[in-house]
Chains A and B, each alone.
Chain A
């Protein structure tokens, strides 16, 4: 493990726009690494600093402090045209006055490669993204999805060490977006190029990434695999941002190792994984799909009484909105209940069970 060079390493990277002291801090001391040949995603809400981070990597902005290394070599002294990374821009930014083939070949041409090599590589890239038929068209004559593919081919053609993608799917419609997810993932595997992918769509991030960095307000909240981030969020922000969740205000009754007994919101006592760092009060998080309306193996009793307020039926999922004795809402997405012949009537009282490892305790009030 010691000698592995990572594709990217960031050490305390900081970016302040405008005045270094009073300007807007878009990125605060980001430290993480991206492994070689990895599909790495930067996930965060709007304004969290994702584009800023990507522009620092591409060389369009310079860091205020900190260090960025590409395969072990610091790159901050290099301008954009000297960095062996390429970008797929959010609005594609294809050159409107060039044909598709000229667009795809532009990077190689600028690198001074011989014309024959450029032409061959352009054909190879157009085939890769299935756009051979369009080589002589102009960008304006293509649909959004087709422009997207050309932008990908253009950025991949010079064989960058790292490919940066800024919300490349956000301008596409839902169906196309889902198809492109798979295609991008396959493209990454086929080319063996490290991808750094930016999105604000958590579903997209979970579906495509090897690892994800969650960003909020210019701070890296957590870095980890999709499962890790979903099942063991580092803090309330991550828990809230990724997937659906229930949050209950609780107090700690006792602690033992990594677990705590908590009480609150009308629940007598329930065991939770303890991430509250010794606080005596906190927020209990439990995902709706970890809650059930019947006992079973590996389940513990979560609440004795919850009153059904409504059910939300989505075809592949049924969610009961219930109220705990103190009025706090608790969403339950039970697979058995979905398959049950008859839904539970409004106003009825149910008993709630939880997967034993699911509830997690955080300090702080949450939302």
Chain B
């Protein structure tokens, strides 16, 4: 209610509508341009040569591009899985310890990748791996991405936990459920939308991570964003536009599904 009347007041300022429109144009125009150009039959960005799916065919036929995409998917699925599992346990433990100083500190550490400049993380991870001599190929990237994805997986799960009625686990205990059964039969199903949403966010974050991937990836474990960056050295070709459009569509779909799940009412 308060929110509603609030936004109505802001919306009543003269020029608000136009301003909002300009804002969205500014935000999305470049993306729309990329998407439109990916269907352009002419390789020149300035000439419209008619509608064509040629560049999509070309992008999909590029074996290196396909390998990079497959690498990215493998890494993203693994990192998202790992970070979601870790985040689920972390959120549960920290929720139980709410109010304690060490719990607040631990949560801050989990959130660190959100606030640290990514290049700092990337350099730190690179020197960490090389000083320990860890050279697992994709494994290195999975470890690095798990770390980056952790806060994104953690936040929706934690939010879900905070909205959960504490008396539900008490009711389960009252009905003879031991701690593990309580988690499995009550907490976990209640958290599921948050967990799925956290997993999808983590997946998207891993999929389009560039800075850390660029520094950490080794030959043979190149990810899609890094590969596309490599393609750009020869200039923006329409097949890059096609690949980008596919990524945009996939990411958007995942984020939308994730929000729909997170917003679903538990009751």
Contacts and interface: CB of A to CB of B under 8 A. Distances in A.
A1 to B, nearest CB: 33
A81 B175 CA distance: 6
Interface in B253-267: 266-267
A81 B178 contact: yes
B5 to A, nearest CB: 28
A59 B176 CA distance: 12
B170 A60 contact: yes
Contacts of B266: 96-97
B190 A96 contact: yes
Interface residues of A, number: 26
A320 interface: no
Nearest to B175: A107
Interface in B130-186: 165, 167-168, 170-178, 181, 185-186
Nearest to B171: A93
Contacts of B175: 81, 86, 106-107, 110, 154-155, 158
A59 B178 CA distance: 13
Nearest to A80: B173
A316 interface: no
Contacts of A79: 173
Q: Chain B contact residues: over half helix, strand or loop, or mixed?
A: helix
A91 B177 contact: no
Given A110-B181, A140-B267, A93 B168 contact: yes
Interface string A170-189: 00000000000000000000
Contact of B177 (A96, A97, A110, A155): A110
A93 B267 contact: no
A17 interface: no
A95 interface: yes
B189 interface: yes
Contacts of A230: none
A81 B189 CA distance: 20
A91 B174 contact: no
Contacts of B165: 91, 93
B172 A106 contact: yes
A277 interface: no
A79 B178 CA distance: 10
Contacts of A139: 267
Interface string A156-180: 0010000000000000000000000
21 contacts: A59-B173, A59-B174, A80-B170, A81-B175, A81-B178, A87-B174, A89-B167, A89-B170, A91-B167, A93-B167, A95-B171, A95-B185, A96-B190, A96-B266, A106-B177, A107-B176, A110-B178, A139-B267, A140-B267, A155-B174, A158-B175
Interface of A: 58-60, 79-82, 85-87, 89, 91, 93-97, 106-107, 110-111, 139-140, 154-155, 158
Interface of B: 165, 167-168, 170-178, 181, 185-186, 189-190, 266-267
Q: Report the 7 A-B pairs with minimum CB-CB distance, sorted nearest first.
A: A107-B175, A80-B173, A110-B176, A93-B167, A93-B171, A110-B177, A97-B189
